[in-house]
């Protein structure tokens, strides 16, 4: 079948990687928009959360879809990593990277696994947290712990690094590489990760520093 042949080809695997990455990025945008209500007030945030959970069908469909996308992205990413390690790694006595700034691209599987660890802890803390507690109180309680907050900040830094290669890499995989747009894309590879780092990191800092005590 053409689909199986496409997905098992080298470029097909990359395209699947990029497509699932794009979907995760879109999820991140919607999650960021929802969480930004924390900056407005407790009432707005609680209102957003209550509204979302008053449509259980939407929540179930989207969270199942997200889980499958995550699964595809992670398993394929690890498969590519293992295949490539066989084809290439450590075959020279002296190996030199000519490209400067290759930190993000070299650490993709590791920053990815940091994000996975974060997602597991995050979901168990918030989605499957104590029932009966208002979500605003859960946020305040958990992020109020210094080390819990610190872990979140480290994970967000890993996410930013992952995205700083991922965003550009996704476009290149889709075939978007043209002198007319490359300047803008180069800027966006910094702006996109920084945007998420500041928005999510800001929420954690708000509670960590105690300024959110009256939230």
Partner 1 sequence: MSTIDLTLQIWRQKNSDSLGNLQTYTLTGISTDMSFLEMLDVLNEKLTKEGKDPVAFDHDCREGICGMCGSVINGIAHGPEKETTLCQLHMRNFKTGDILVVEPFRSRAFPIRKDLIVDRSAFDRIIQSGGYVSVNTGGTPDGNAIPIPAETAELAMDAAACIGCGACVAACPNGAAMLFTSAKISQLCLLPQGKVERKARALAMVKIMDEEGFGNCSNERECEAVCPKGISIRNIARMNREFIAAALFEG
Long-range residue pairs from 105-110, CB within 8 A, at least 24 positions apart, any chain: 105/165, 105/169, 107/161, 108/77, 108/81, 108/162, 108/165, 108/166, 109/77, 109/78, 109/81
Q: Could you say whether residue 197 binds ligand HEM (CB under 6 A)?
A: no
Which residue, 111 or 140, is less far from ligand HEM as judged by CB?
111
Residue placing its CB nearer to partner 1 in the complex, 97 or 187? 97
Part of the chain binding partner 1 (CB under 8 A), chosen from 1-9, 39-47, 121-129, 155-163: 1-9
Q: Closer CB to ligand HEM, residue 21 or residue 149?
A: 21
Neighbours of 208 (CB within 10 A): 20
Residue 23 is a binding residue for partner 1 (CB under 8 A): no
DSSP 115-180: HHHHHHHHHHHHTTS-TTS-HHHHHHHHHHSHHHHHHHHHHHHHHHHHHHHHHHHHHHHHT---HH
Q: Write out the residues near ligand HEM by the rule CB under 6 A.
A: 14, 17-18, 21, 24-25, 28, 70, 73-74, 77, 80-81, 108-109, 112-113, 115-116, 119, 162, 166-167, 169-170, 173
Q: Write out the residues near partner 1 by the rule CB under 8 A.
A: 2, 5-6, 9-15, 80, 83-84, 86-89, 91-99, 102, 105-106, 108, 165, 168-169, 172-178
């Amino acid at each position: 079948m053409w689909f199986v042949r496409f997905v098992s080809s080298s470029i097909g695997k990359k395209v699947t990687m990029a497509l699932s990455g794009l979907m995760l990025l879109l999820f991140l945008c919607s999650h960021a928009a929802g969480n930004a209500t924390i900056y407005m007030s407790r009432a707005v945030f609680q209102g957003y959360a209550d509204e979302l959970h008053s449509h259980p069908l939407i929540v179930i469909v989207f969270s199942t879809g997200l889980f499958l996308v995550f699964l595809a992205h992670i398993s394929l990413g690890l498969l590519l990593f293992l295949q490539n390690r066989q084809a290439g790694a450590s075959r020279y006595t002296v190996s030199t990277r000519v490209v400067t700034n290759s930190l993000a691209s070299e650490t993709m599987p590791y920053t990815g696994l940091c994000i996975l660890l974060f997602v597991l802890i995050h979901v168990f803390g918030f989605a499957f947290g104590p029932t009966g507690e208002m979500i605003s109180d859960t946020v305040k309680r958990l992020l109020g712990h210094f080390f819990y907050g610190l872990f979140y900040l480290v994970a967000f830094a890993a996410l930013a690094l992952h995205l700083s290669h991922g965003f550009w890499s996704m476009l290149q995989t889709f075939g978007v590489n043209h002198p007319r747009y490359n300047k803008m894309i180069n800027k966006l590879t910094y702006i996109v990760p920084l945007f998420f780092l500041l928005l999510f990191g800001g929420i954690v800092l708000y509670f960590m520093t105690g300024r959110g005590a009256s939230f």
